[in-house]
Structure 1
């Protein structure tokens, strides 16, 4: 697995900005939000496409954080009200932002989402906040 990871990093000319300890800090900060834990979209280093937004298994029991190219964190929590009624939206921007700051990880804003970077392509530095 490590050899495959190294090969992808080299082929795509990726620069690492995170390590397992930083991912764990972020995971703990987000899980500490309890019922306000945000939905995330994950981009795996091996996949072309990212996942859809959902809750994430931050225990990393079956998923190595070294595979995370980036994670988009949605500060908007949608509460389903029914099939014919639009979802109710709760804006948790402030508490999600505080959790990210607490974890001291590199992040940027991508639209309305916070993006925590695991890797980026050399020569294309994100606008970190």
Structure 2
């Protein structure tokens, strides 16, 4: 991140009283470990300067969500992946939650449990209090 963008981000964080949860090292370590299991996960990303994403939009490609992590407000990771087995057959749902939790714990990344995965917080806005699963 260049100095101009970093300065702009710092100003935005200060003006909105937003506190950081993860630093660059934590994000790097997390993404390194997620690369090992990425084909088994879906991702949903919310950046600081963007509106809430559509709840139905998930991306199975880690490379689409891992850039510019300094802007990530939160990252949802879904560990229940549905695989189509054809038009007439019910999809098979694979639960990779244990694999995901192991990677998060190995990376030392705090997370919040969701119904079908986890949420990694990059930043917290005033009034946001996650229910940490591993602190």
Alignment of 1:31-42 (within 5 A): 31-33=35-37, 35-36=39-40, 38-42=41-45
Q: Structure 2: where are the runs of 5+ without partners?
A: none
Aligned to 1:97: 101
Aligned to 1:53: 58
> How far apart in 2 are the matches of 1:49 and 1:35?
24
- 1:27, 1:58 within 8 Å by CA — same for their partners in 2? no
If the length of structure 2 is used for normalisation, what is the TM-score?
0.81
Total equivalences in the alignment: 126
- 1:18, 1:117 within 8 Å by CA — same for their partners in 2? yes
Q: Structure 1: where are the runs of 5+ without partners?
A: none
RMSD of aligned Cα (Å): 2.1
Aligned to 1:44: 47
| 2:124 is equivalent to residue 120 of structure 1 | yes
Match of 2:15 among 11, 14, 19: 11
Could you tell me how far 1:31 is from its partner in structure 2? 0.9
